[in-house]
Amino acid sequence: MPELPEVETVVKGLAKKIKGKLIENALINRPDLRWPFPKGMKTRLEGKIILNIKRRSKYILINLSSNETMVMHLGMSGRVLIKNGEKVFRDPNFYWNKENFDKHDHVILTMKDGTTVVYNDPRRFGFIDLCDSDEIQNHRMLKTLGVEPLGNQFSAIYLAEMLRDSKSTIKASLLNQKYVCGLGNIYVCEALWRSGIIPTRLAGTISLDNLEKLVSAIRETLSEAIIAGGSSLKDFKNIEGNLGYFQHQFKVYNCEGMDCRTKSCQEKIKKINLAGRSTFYCDNCQQ
């Protein structure tokens, strides 16, 4: 599933390509993804100007001139791709004749200038919804989210307060979106290695000094991943169909049996199942 860096990569790409443009045609090729599309979605999108595009956690938020926000989630295999100059999509009868589009292109938005946005999702675990922009913070998928890990509210003091009475491991706690949102398995494993904290450590037992290291490690890991365009392990591609490159910088994730990247360490990276996810770590460098 795309995590924060991958979604941020998509958001930045979309903002450059379609911010300020008018949606001339919305082609909806099925009634649902993970859940049914909102009623009247085609009509509610057509003729609207895209005012802004933002990210909240792992969700893409597209603000429209109708004072509605389109909430988009990529699920396990979702992609958002840009096709320039595909004005043929103004006539839906041409859709299946285009060789560079396939049966998993479930929603196609064509801008007035011909720029086309394609939502492709083979496994259909993602979703698209529409919400009153003034009520976006109360959307069912957003209202319980914690702070953003790259935002000013995220700090060691905040984590200490949230995790003070926790009986969960630090790995499970960081994956819990009500504490800090947008983090997933890849970047939690990487950040814990950088901070020297073992994933099985009980969250409530970590000192403030070590939480400071963890916060810094999370910020650094996410920032570097965004610069690299995210990680592409299975399905993720950016809006132009290109792969991310951060997987080439992994220190522990998916590195079972490899030498630890710490120069003075002679240990091999280990793998266990924790919080229902494959977890990679060095039991020498992480305590």
- Residue-wise pLDDT for 190-232, tens only, equals 999 999 999 999 999 999 999 999 999 999 999 999 999 999 7
Return the pLDDT at 153.
Answer: 97
My answer on whether 181 and 111 are in the same domain is no
Instruction: Say whether pLDDT at 115 is over 80.
Output: yes
Tell me the pLDDT band of 242, cut-offs 50, 70 and 90.
confident
Catalytic hit among 2, 5, 149, 199: 2
Instruction: Say whether pLDDT at 114 is over 80.
Output: yes
My answer on whether 97 and 129 are in the same domain is yes
CA contacts within 13 A on the Cβ side of 165: 0
Instruction: Say whether pLDDT at 87 is over 60.
Output: no
* Separation CA 260–CA 22 (nearest Å): 51
My answer on whether 51 and 165 are in the same domain is no
Catalytic hit among 34, 90, 261, 277: 277
Instruction: Say whether pLDDT at 273 is over 80.
Output: yes
Of 69, 104, 138, the one marking the end of a domain is 138
My answer on whether 10 and 112 are in the same domain is yes
Decide if 238 is inside a domain. yes
Contact between 124 and 105 under an 8 Å Cβ cutoff? The reply is: no
Burial string for 202-214 (b: 16+ CB within 10 Å, else e) reads ebeebeeebbbbb
Decide if 148 is inside a domain. no
Number of domains in the chain: 2
Higher pLDDT, 84 or 261: 261
My answer on whether 71 and 171 are in the same domain is no
Distance of CA 224 to the CA centre of its chain: 15
Instruction: Say whether pLDDT at 97 is over 70.
Output: no
Catalytic hit among 48, 55, 58, 251: 58
**In sequence order, which residues have a C-beta less than 8 Å from that of residue 182 and are 6 or more positions away?**
3, 4, 7, 55, 57, 58, 148, 149, 222
Decide if 118 is inside a domain. yes
**In sequence order, which residues have a C-beta less than 8 Å from that of residue 206 and are 6 or more positions away?**
163, 170, 197, 214
Higher pLDDT, 220 or 236: 220
> Residue 190 belongs to a domain with what CATH number?
1.10.8.50
Examine the residue annotation and report whether 38 is marked as an active-site residue of this protein: no
Return the pLDDT at 103.
Answer: 84
Instruction: Say whether pLDDT at 86 is over 90.
Output: no
My answer on whether 183 and 108 are in the same domain is no
Query: Lowest-pLDDT range, 16-20, 55-59, 98-102, 192-196?
Result: 98-102
**Percent residues over pLDDT 70 in the chain:** 93
Decide if 150 is inside a domain. no
Contact between 260 and 267 under an 8 Å Cβ cutoff? The reply is: yes
Examine the residue annotation and report whether 54 is marked as an active-site residue of this protein: no
* Separation CA 232–CA 239 (nearest Å): 13
For the residues 3-13, what does the mean pLDDT come to? 95
Examine the residue annotation and report whether 31 is marked as an active-site residue of this protein: no
For the residues 95-108, what does the mean pLDDT come to? 71
Report the chain's C-alpha Rg in angstroms.
Answer: 21
Instruction: Say whether pLDDT at 99 is over 70.
Output: no
Return the pLDDT at 198.
Answer: 98
Higher pLDDT, 214 or 94: 214
Instruction: Say whether pLDDT at 85 is over 90.
Output: no
CA distances from 57 to 15, 30, 77, 263 (A): 17, 26, 17, 34
The residue segments making up the domain with residue 29 are 4-138
φ, ψ for residue 22, nearest 5 deg? -100, 135
Examine the residue annotation and report whether 277 is marked as an active-site residue of this protein: yes
For the residues 13-27, what does the mean pLDDT come to? 95
Q: How many secondary structure helices (H) and strands (E) does the chain include?
A: 6, 10
DSSP 147: B
Return the pLDDT at 215.
Answer: 98
* Separation CA 167–CA 151 (nearest Å): 26
* Separation CA 54–CA 22 (nearest Å): 17
My answer on whether 104 and 169 are in the same domain is no
Higher pLDDT, 101 or 163: 163
Catalytic hit among 3, 6, 8, 24: 3
Burial string for 51-86 (b: 16+ CB within 10 Å, else e) reads eebebbbbbbbbbbeeebbbbbbbbebbbbbbbeeb
State the chain's mean pLDDT as an integer: 92
> Residue 14 belongs to a domain with what CATH number?
3.20.190.10
For the residues 235-261, what does the mean pLDDT come to? 89
Decide if 287 is inside a domain. no
My answer on whether 12 and 134 are in the same domain is yes
My answer on whether 224 and 175 are in the same domain is yes
Helix (H) or strand (E) run with residue 171 in it: helix 170-175
